[in-house]
A and B are shown apart, each in its own frame.
Chain A
Amino acid sequence: MSEALLAVQGLRVRFAGEDGDVQAVDGASFELAPGEVLAIVGESGSGKSVTAQAVMGLIPSRNATVEGSVRLRGRELLGAEESEMQKVRGAQIAMVFQDPMTSLNPVYRVGAQIVEAIQAHRPEVGRHEARVRTVELLDSVGIPDPAQRVDSYPHEFSGGMRQRAMIAMALALEPDVLIADEPTTALDVTIQAQILRLLERLNRERDLATIVITHDLGVVAEVANRVLVMNEGRIVERGELDEVFYAAKDPYTRKLLDAVLRLDQAPPLRERSTAAPLLEVTDLVKHYPVKRGLLSDRGVDRVRAVDGVSFNVEQGETLGLVGESGSGKTTLSRTVLQLLQPTSGSVRFEGREIAGLSRREMRPLRPQMQMIFQDPYASLNPRKRVGQIVGEPLRLQGRASGEELRRAVHELLERVGLAPEHYGRYPHEFSGGQRQRIGIARALALRPKLIVADEPVSALDVSIRAQILALLAELQQDFGLTYVFVAHDIGVVRHVSDRIAVMHEGRIVEQGPADEVCERPSDPYTKSLLAAVPIPDPRESRARRAGTASS
C-alpha cells in the first residue's frame, strides 16, 4: 500500500445529551491512500456520518468532545485552529452530502455558489476567471449546456443535476480527499447509476482519494476498493472489497450481507392457483389542474399523474408497483383506494364499482382496504398512545369498545411482534421498525382484504427491513391478505411480489409475473431500470460493468 494520505487514529466522538452521553464514534482508525475509494458502511446510528464530520472538523463543539487523531499528509487536524481548518475544508478535503435538494442555498445561483468556494480559498482569482473555471467544472461533471446553466438557481435543476453541481463544487479546488456522505440515497436508481459512474471516473482521472459513506451494499460493490463496516460507533470489519463480501469475519457484517435482497437472486415464485380478481382497475386517469393565474382560470394545464392505467389484483396475491419518483405510483395507489377522486376510469372491488362513490358510500367499504405508509415517523400521531392509535379504526367503525377493544388491541400488538405492555407508550419511544409494526397493526385492526403498502420499508435499515417483510408475508398467509406493494426499489419488490407492474410517467409500461419482468423485460424503460440497480456482489458488478463497457 502506498503512503497514507489521510490517517485516522483512535477517533472518539461523544455527544453530551439530556438523557446521558452518546458515544457516537468509539475508537475508529483507518487510513486512506491517494486514488483509493474507501466505503464506510453501516446502518443508521452506526457513527459513519459523524466520523466524516469529525474528519472535516464540522462537529459542533458545544456539546461534543472529539478525541484521537486525524492526520492529513502527516499534519494533525484535530484541535487545529478554526482558521486553519477553513483552509483545509473545501481545498484539501471536500464533501458531498446526501440531499442535493437542500444542500445548495436556494437564493443564490448555482454558479455563484461554486465561485464563492473558489474565491474563499483563492482570493486572487478574479470573478471572471472563477466563472470560467466554474463552467469547466460543470461541464466536467456532465451538466449539459454549462455556460447557460451556470446562472440557474438550484430549484431549476433536477435532483441528479444538483448532485452533479455539488460534486463540481467539491472538485473546484482540486482537493486530495473527497468525502461523499450517502451521495445517491436521495436519488432515483437510474440517476444513482449516473452519479456513481461519475464518481468512479473522477476518482480514476484525478487520482482522488474518496470516502463513500453509505448504507447500501450495492453502491459499495459498484465503487469501492476497500470497505469498513461500522456498528454502534465501532469499526467491526475492514478489508478489501472482495474480502468483506466473500469472507466476512464479523457476525454483524454477515447479517448485513444476508439481509440484502438481491434482484438477481429471488426466491421461486409461490405456487398459486388462479383466484377471482379482488381489484380490477380499468383505464384509470387522475389529472391535476395547474392554475396559471390567480384571477383567471384560462390556460389551465394538467399534470397527468395517472394516465390510463389498467391492472387486476387477484385474491391473496401481491402485486408490486415499481416506479421512480414522479412516476405516479403513489397517486395511483391513493386513487385506487378512492382517497383521491379519479378523473375517469373504473375501479372494481370484489366486482363492485367504487370509482366515483361518495365518502359516505365508501365508508362501509373502508375497513376492507387499508394502507401502510412509508414514513413510520410521520404517519403516527405523536400525541397519541400506541393503544389509541391501533384501536382507533375499531372504535371509529364501532366494532369494539372498553375492555373488548383493549383485548383486541393487545392481540393485534402481539400479532405484529410487539408486547401488550407497549399499549400505553407514545410513538417516539419506539424504533423505526417497531413504529412500522404499529402501522401494520393499525392497518390490520379491521381485518381488511386488501392492504396497499406505500414504500413500507424504504425508510428502514436493511436488517429491520427483512424483519418487516417477513412479518408482512406471514400475515398474508395467516389472514389471506392481498397486497399492492408500492416501492421504488425493484429488488425489494421482486422479493415480495407475485406479479410486478412497472410505472413510468403515469402509465404502466410493463406488467407480468415477477421473474419474467425482472429477467426478461420487454419494455426499454424496464430494461434501463433493471440495468441501473447496483448489484451487491463485487464480482457480478465488475462483470456487468465490463459487459456494458465492451458492448
Chain B
Amino acid sequence: MGRFAIRRLAGMVAVLFAVSVLVFLIFNVIPNADPAKQLAGRAADPQLIASITEEWGFDDPLPQQYLTMMGNIFSGEVVSYETEENVDERIVEGIPATFSLCIGAAVLWMFFGILFGYLSAVRAGGKLDRALTVVAVTGISIPVFWLAAILLNYLTYQLAIFPSGGYVGLTENPLEWANHLILPWVTLAIVYVGFYSRVLRSNMLDAMDEDYVRTARAKGLSERRVMTRHVLRNSLVPIVTLFGLDFGALLGGAILVEGIFNLNGIGQYAYESLLNLELPPIMAIVLFGAFFVVLFNTLVDIAYAYLDPRVKLGSSAQ
C-alpha cells in the first residue's frame, strides 16, 4: 500500500506536469493571445505593450515563463490578465457551487442508474425492461442544453416552480440551496442515469450465466439474494470504474450545466476564461481538473482492490 501510494503520487505529478506543459505550449502558438495586449486594454499604444511585456516577463524564454506561471499558481499569486483579479481565489469561490452540483447529481445518477439497471436486468425482456430501455436511451440521446431549455421553460417560466438560476450557499439557506440546484442536478444526472443503467444491465445479464450464480441457487438462496449478493455485487465493479472517471472529470467544472443555470462555479469560470483566451485561469483550472481526474483514478484502483480481492494493489499482473 505504501509503495502503491508513492508510485501513484509520482504518477500524479508527472500527469499534472505533462498537462500543464501542453496547455502552456498551446497557448503560446494561438494567434491573438498576446497577454501584454490583454493587460494593456483596448486602445493601447505599442510603447505601453512593450513596457508591459518587459515588466511581466513575456519576452523571457518559454521555460522561464512556464516556471513563473506555475510558481504563481501554486503560491496563490496568479492573476487574470484581463481583470487582474486573483485566479486562485476565483476558483476557490467556485468550488461550493461546482461541488454541490456534481455531488448531488452523482447521488441521483448512481441511485437511479443502479436501480433502473438492476430492475431491467432482473426483468430482462419484460415490459418493465422495455420501458426502462426507452427511458435510458432517451436520457442518453437528449442534448443537455435542449433538456435544460425545456425544463427552464416549463418549470421555471410557465409554472414558476423553480428559480431561473444562480447559486445560494448551503450554509446560507439550505432550502434555497436545494431549490436552486434541483434542475441542474436533474439535467446533469439524466445522461449518466441512462448510460449507467445500460452498462449495469448488460453486466448483470453476463453475470447471471456465471457458474457461481448457479452455485448460489443450488445452495437454496432466495432469488432476490442471488440477484443482489451475487449478481449485482459482482457487476458493480465496472460501474465503480466509470463513476470514478466521470465524477473526477466533472469536479473540474461542468461547463454546460453551470453556464445554463448561471451557477458561477468553476466550469462557468473556465468557459469565460476560454472566451477571453486567458492563460492564467485556464492553466489553473486545467490543473485543478486534472488533479481530480488523477485522484479519482487512484481512488478507483483502491476501490477495485476492495471490490475484487483478486486484484492486488501495486502488482502489474492484472
Contact (Cβ within 8 A) B223 A82: yes
Tell me the count of chain A residues lying within 8 A, CB to CB, of chain B: 36
Q: List residues of chain B with CB within 8 A of the CB of A166.
A: 215
Give chain B's interface residue range (CB within 8 Å of chain A).
20 to 34
Given that A153-B309, A153-B310, A294-B7 are contacting pairs, would A103 and B220 also be in contact in the complex, using a CB cutoff of 8 Å?
no
B1 → chain A closest CB, angstroms: 14
Contact (Cβ within 8 A) B214 A105: no
Q: List residues of chain A with CB within 8 A of the CB of B310.
A: 106, 153, 155
A404 → chain B closest CB, angstroms: 46
Q: List residues of chain A with CB within 8 A of the CB of B230.
A: 105
B297 → chain A closest CB, angstroms: 14
A324 → chain B closest CB, angstroms: 23
Q: List residues of chain A with CB within 8 A of the CB of B216.
A: 105
Given that A104-B215, A105-B234 are contacting pairs, would A86 and B309 also be in contact in the complex, using a CB cutoff of 8 Å?
no
The A260-315 residues at the B interface (CB cut-off 8 A) are 290-295
The A416-473 residues at the B interface (CB cut-off 8 A) are none
B219 in the interface (beta carbon within 8 A): yes
Contact with A along B292-318 (1 / 0, CB 8 A): 000000000000000111100011110
A500 in the interface (beta carbon within 8 A): no
Contact (Cβ within 8 A) A107 B316: no
Q: List residues of chain B with CB within 8 A of the CB of A294.
A: 7, 314, 316
Checking B3, B214, B222, B314 against A58 with a beta-carbon cut-off of 8 angstroms, the contacting residue is B214
Checking A90, A102, A169, A170 against B211 with a beta-carbon cut-off of 8 angstroms, the contacting residue is A102
The DSSP consensus for interface residues of chain B is: helix
A121 in the interface (beta carbon within 8 A): yes
Checking B210, B219, B309 against A90 with a beta-carbon cut-off of 8 angstroms, the contacting residue is B219
Given that A105-B234, A155-B309, A155-B310 are contacting pairs, would A116 and B212 also be in contact in the complex, using a CB cutoff of 8 Å?
no
CA of A290 to CA of B317, assembled, Å: 9
Q: List residues of chain A with CB within 8 A of the CB of B307.
A: 107
A249 in the interface (beta carbon within 8 A): no
Checking A82, A103, A155 against B215 with a beta-carbon cut-off of 8 angstroms, the contacting residue is A103
The A165-195 residues at the B interface (CB cut-off 8 A) are 166, 169-170, 172
Contact (Cβ within 8 A) A89 B316: no
B225 in the interface (beta carbon within 8 A): yes
B229 in the interface (beta carbon within 8 A): yes
Instruction: Pick the interface stretch among A6-14, A93-101, A251-259, A344-352.
Output: A93-101
Checking B221, B308, B317 against A107 with a beta-carbon cut-off of 8 angstroms, the contacting residue is B308
Checking A97, A106, A121 against B214 with a beta-carbon cut-off of 8 angstroms, the contacting residue is A97
The B204-241 residues at the A interface (CB cut-off 8 A) are 210-212, 214-223, 225, 229-230, 233-234
Residue of B nearest to A100 (CB): B211
Given that A107-B308, A293-B3 are contacting pairs, would A87 and B220 also be in contact in the complex, using a CB cutoff of 8 Å?
yes
A509 in the interface (beta carbon within 8 A): no
The B5-44 residues at the A interface (CB cut-off 8 A) are 7, 10
A365 in the interface (beta carbon within 8 A): no
B130 → chain A closest CB, angstroms: 16
Q: List residues of chain A with CB within 8 A of the CB of B217.
A: 58, 89
Contact (Cβ within 8 A) A97 B7: no
A56 in the interface (beta carbon within 8 A): yes
Q: List residues of chain A with CB within 8 A of the CB of B233.
A: 107
Q: List residues of chain A with CB within 8 A of the CB of B221.
A: 86, 90, 116-117, 120
Q: List residues of chain B with CB within 8 A of the CB of A292.
A: 315
A88 in the interface (beta carbon within 8 A): yes
Contact (Cβ within 8 A) A105 B220: no
Give 10 closest A-B pairs by Cβ, nearest first. A90-B220, A90-B219, A89-B220, A102-B211, A117-B219, A105-B212, A95-B218, A153-B309, A103-B211, A294-B316
